[in-house]
Amino acid sequence: NRLAGAWQRRPSFGMATAQCELCDESGDTVERRVYRAIRLAQGPTPGDKELPESLGFIKRLRKDWLAAGSPSRCIEVAGGHGLVSLLLLSLGLSRDATIVDPFRPRSFDTLLSAFREAGLLPESYSLQYDERPLDEAL
């Protein structure tokens, strides 16, 4: 799998598990669980650069997101594979996500299945994919 090397090189992007705010009960990080889920996914997945870029975006966004009172709804415009929305749901930063993109790639369905199978999504969440031209959807 394409992400296997990235998983081995950067399992938590330099964040020690003990310092991680986003660890599960076993001390494993959500990031590691996401990498494993994508590595084991059956089907097309986004390119190698997508997960580190999406996680980097979320990390930069997180402080402002929390300062804004953790908005419960995310609209990911030109979202393609929907990785940002799936990460926001997995990290508990959103309970409702809509991905807007005129083309829904097969990798979205692969990622959604992988996140579900790995138990990364909250028990109660809403996720929609609005497959329309952006000017119609917004």
Tokens of 22: 């986003």
Q: Is the pLDDT of residue 56 over 50?
A: yes
pLDDT at 61: 87
pLDDT at 137: 85
Per-residue pLDDT reduced to its tens digit, 35-52: 999 999 999 999 989 999
Model pTM score: 0.79
